Amino acid sequence: MTPNDRRYTKDHEWVLVEGDTAKIGITEYAQEALGDIVYVELPAVDDTFEAGESFAVVESVKAVSQIYTCVTGVVCEINEELDAQPELLNSDAFNTFIAALKITSIDESKLMNAEEYDAFVASEH
C-alpha cells in the first residue's frame, strides 16, 4: 500500500515534507526492482543539491542506481543506519529514509500523490 502522507517521483523516490525539511527515500517498487541492496552511498551533511540532481547511490546485487532529489536544499540529516544495514531499504522502504534536506525550493509539478504514483507504476508494466 502506497502511503498517502508523501509525494512520489517518476524515478520511484518518495519525499515526506515536514515543515521546511524533506525526507527522501525509495519506494517499495524501486527496492523490488533493485533486488537485495548491499550498499548505500550517502551524501554528507551540509552538501547542497538542486532538484533533479543525484544525491545518493544505491547498489544492489542487480544494479547500481542513482537516487535523485526532488527538492533543492541542504542535507541536514543522513540515515547512518544504512551504512551498516543497507538492507533496511528492502525490508521497510517507506519507513527508511536516505537523507533529509532543509528545503530551499520544491517543484510540486514534478511530484505525484499516492494514487497518481500507483497509476504510473501500473502503466509501466
Cell of 98: 536516505
- Residue 79's pLDDT is 98
- Residue 44's pLDDT is 98
pLDDT in tens, 59-68: 999 999 999 9
Phi-psi category of residue 75: left, alpha or beta, with phi > 0 → left and psi -120 to 50 → alpha: beta
In Å, the largest CA–CA distance within the chain is 38
- The answer to whether the CB of 86 falls within 8 A of the CB of 57 is no
pLDDT in tens, 91-111: 999 999 999 999 999 988 889
Q: 94 Cβ partners below 8 Å, 6+ apart?
A: 2, 3, 14, 25, 27, 28
In 27-98 the beta strands, taken as DSSP E runs, fall at: 37-41, 48-49, 54-60, 64-68, 71-78
pLDDT in tens, 14-57: 999 999 999 999 999 999 999 999 999 999 999 999 999 999 99
What's the mean pLDDT when you consider all of the chain? 96
Residue identified by cell 536544499 is 73
